[in-house]
Structure 1
Amino acid sequence: MSDNQGEMSIVDHLGELRKRIIYILVVLLVGLIIGLVCANPIYKYLISVDTAKNFQLNAFAFWDGIGMYMKIAMVVALVLTIPFTAYQLWAFVSPGLREVERKAALRYVPYAFILFVIGMAFGYYVVFPMALGFTTTITKNMGLAETYGISQYFNFMFTLVVPIALLFELPLIVMFLTKLRILNPRRLRKMRKMSYFALVFIAVVITPPDFISDFLVTIPLLLLYEFSVYLSSAVYRKQLAADEAADEAAEERYAFPANLE
């Protein structure tokens, strides 16, 4: 009987997860529609900034223009879906949390959107101009004619900007996992060397192969990790204090009848 109940429990969890994923896909579809509506003004802004003014973008295929609109729409949909996805993740795990933990974790949802937007701004206004300037300088030094396609330009942009924006979610993810007691500051400190190596590797991969660009991207990523450790420590201290208060309250409840005797 207990095995059947356990099996049903697993089935229920899978059904709940499936429902949450469907919700996310629906919001992603709505975001794509909104993104397509906003694609043209966003495109006009992106090609009007100083980074793009120096380039004459060309279409090398009939689908380049439509493909560019779809890429912009996908990024818009991703921005809109990130906080909703965070909420759905919270809704999925919240039954296993205490009331205080549920309320605290729910506060993280708006910050998922804020951090993603900050990450996109950092990627677009800091990393992307550096990478573009480096590659075009090399091209000119080689005496090559610069003829860029619109698809290549936006692919290059989104390949840099979107991963950086996702990396900016690291503090929020660490706080959430600490709240679930999956991570703690002690474990994060033990993982520091491995995490630093991974972040430096990511920075080197997504930036031009020069020390200055690598340094300018690596430092914010390492600071993000240390900030994540700090936030994890703050959450962990509150958890320990809450556990200690709960233990003291339990001891008082059990000690009270004994005192009456």
Structure 2
Amino acid sequence: MKKLFKKKEKSTEVKKAEVEAEMGFLDHLEQLRWHILRSFAAVFVIGIAVFIAKDFVFGTIIFGPLKESFPTFQMFCTLAESMCFGPPKMQLDTINIGEQFIIHIKSSIMIGFICSFPYVFWEIWRFVKPGLYDKEKKYTRGVVVIASLLFISGVLFGYFIISPFALNFLGNYTVAENVESGGTLASYITYMFMFTLPTGIIFQLPIVVYFLSKIGLVTPEFMKKYRRHAIVVILILAAIITPPDIITQFLIGIPVYFLYEISIIISKRVQPDPDF
């Protein structure tokens, strides 16, 4: 029975390979074009909804870390009085006449991408999946859900943890007493997306390690051997995407290192199968 099953599996894979071979390069490009168009359509539709909900998006979400009622400030103040801190007092200005409108559009697109990431990743996976064998599909089952959860977790971590500390440091930092802290709306929006979007991408580390381990490019022994080097890279990466504040850098560095250790376990469990 096992031999019969293996023969059927191999014949299915051969048939699939023949079908794939019949599809020309332009056919694959046509498929890719439709996947990309559907992904852009999802970002566009959600972006329009975000654009319409301007008061809620800006008043509650984007400008949330500038309010005393922000959950992070409330949580730390509840834990201990010595840990209590609040948002910086700053006035956000605009320089150009149409700056607020342009920023409104850019913010809607970025939030539209963040919200539609699960669907965008699903479209990418739909394009890649037909080229995989049945055993490969079995190993990658649930990858869309896991990748989406990791991305959303990273964005939420950046929003609720990194942004309050980073804004508190940057907003209260002064070089002289006669220099008042302030900022522009454009710079604030740029920093907010810098604190959230890259974090969501970095949180995809276990997924990347999973696939690299499956094809044999990464091994748990390799990751353990270069653990110290990885720590240095993580700290450098944290310094790039966060302000020069040691607390904020550790806030992003610690969870990324934790994900690195999880990735070692994942790599150990998904060593390349000879039949893969």
Are 2:150 and 1:110 aligned? Answer: no
1:170 touches 1:228 (CA, 8 Å); kept in 2?
yes
* Cα pair 1:82 1:112 within 8 Å, conserved: no
Structure 2: where are the runs of 5+ without partners? 1-19, 69-85
> Within the alignment, does 1:164 sit opposite 2:180 as a pair?
no
Q: TM-score, normalised by structure 1?
A: 0.75
Q: CA deviation at 1:6?
A: 6.8
Rounded to whole Å, the distance in 2 between the matches of 1:158 and 1:115 is: 17
Could you say if the C-alpha distance between residues 181 and 80 of structure 1 is closer, same or farther in structure 2, counting changes exceeding 3 Å?
Answer: farther
Kindly indicate whether the alpha-carbon contact (under 8 Å) linking 1:105 and 1:179 is maintained by their aligned counterparts in 2.
Answer: no
Letter in 2 for 1:75: M
Identity over aligned residues, as a percent? 28
The alpha-carbon deviation at position 200 of structure 1 amounts to: 1.9
The correspondence of residues 127-142 of structure 1 with structure 2, limited to 5 A, is: 127-139=162-174, 141-142=176-177
The match for 1:215 is 250
Q: Say whether residues 1:47 and 2:63 are aligned partners.
A: yes
Alignment of 1:57-68 (within 5 A): 57-68=92-103
Distance 1:214 1:80, change over 3 A: closer
Equivalent residue letter for 1:175: Y
- 1:93-117 C-alpha deviation (Å, 9 max, x unpaired): 2223232432442412122222222
What do residues 29-75 of structure 1 show as CA deviations (whole Å, max 9, x unaligned)? Answer: 22322221233312111335336673333333222322332233123
**1-side partners of 2:183 and 2:22: how far apart?**
57
Note closer, same or farther for the CA distance 1:52–1:215 as it changes in structure 2 (3 Å cut). closer
Point out the structure with the larger helix share: 1
Partners of 2:58 and 2:161 in 1: how far apart? Answer: 19
Gaps of 5+ in 1: 248-261
In structure 1, C-alpha distance between the alignment counterparts of 2:182 and 2:38, rounded to whole Å: 43
Name the SS for the 2:173 alignment partner.
Answer: helix
Which segment drifts farther, 197-206 or 42-51? 42-51
Given that 2:90 and 2:183 are in contact with CA atoms closer than 8 Å, whether structure 1 keeps it comes out as: yes
Mapped to 1, the partners of 2:98 and 2:153 lie a distance apart of: 31
- Aligned pairs for 1:80-119 within 5 A: 80-119=115-154
The alignment status of 1:203 with 2:238, answered yes or no, reads yes
> Could you tell which deviates more after superposition, 46-55 or 121-130?
46-55
Does the aligned pair in 2 maintain the 1:29–1:77 contact within 8 Å? yes
Conservation of the 8 A alpha-carbon contact between 2:166 and 2:245: no
Q: Does 1:73 align with 2:89?
A: no
Q: Is the contact made by 1:67 and 1:151 (CA closer than 8 Å) also made in structure 2?
A: no
Q: Are the aligned partners of 1:47 and 1:53 in contact in 2 as well (CA < 8 Å)?
A: no
Whichever residue aligns with residue 99 of structure 2, its letter is D
CA offsets per residue over residues 165-209 of structure 1, 9 Å max, x none?
211122223324445666443454466455444322111112222
Scaled by the length of structure 2, the TM-score of the pair is 0.72
Q: Which residue of 2 aligns with 1:229?
A: 264
Q: Partners in 2 of 1:137 and 1:53 — Cα distance?
A: 6
> 1:113-160: per-residue Cα shift (whole Å, max 9, x none)?
222221112112221222222222322754312332222211221122
Cα distance in 2, alignment partners of residues 10 and 196 from structure 1: 42
SS of 1:139 mapped into structure 2 = coil
CA contact (8 A) 2:162 2:248 kept: yes
Inter-CA distance 104–27: structure 2 relative to 1 (3 Å threshold)? farther
Distance 1:192 1:89, change over 3 A: farther
Contact 1:40 1:69 in 2 (8 A): no
- The answer on whether the counterparts of 1:38 and 1:73 sit within 8 Å (CA) in structure 2 is no
1:175 corresponds in structure 2 to 210
| CA RMSD in angstroms, aligned pairs only | 3.1
Partners of 2:259 and 2:154 in 1: how far apart?
Answer: 11
Is contact 2:206-2:260 (8 Å) kept? Answer: yes
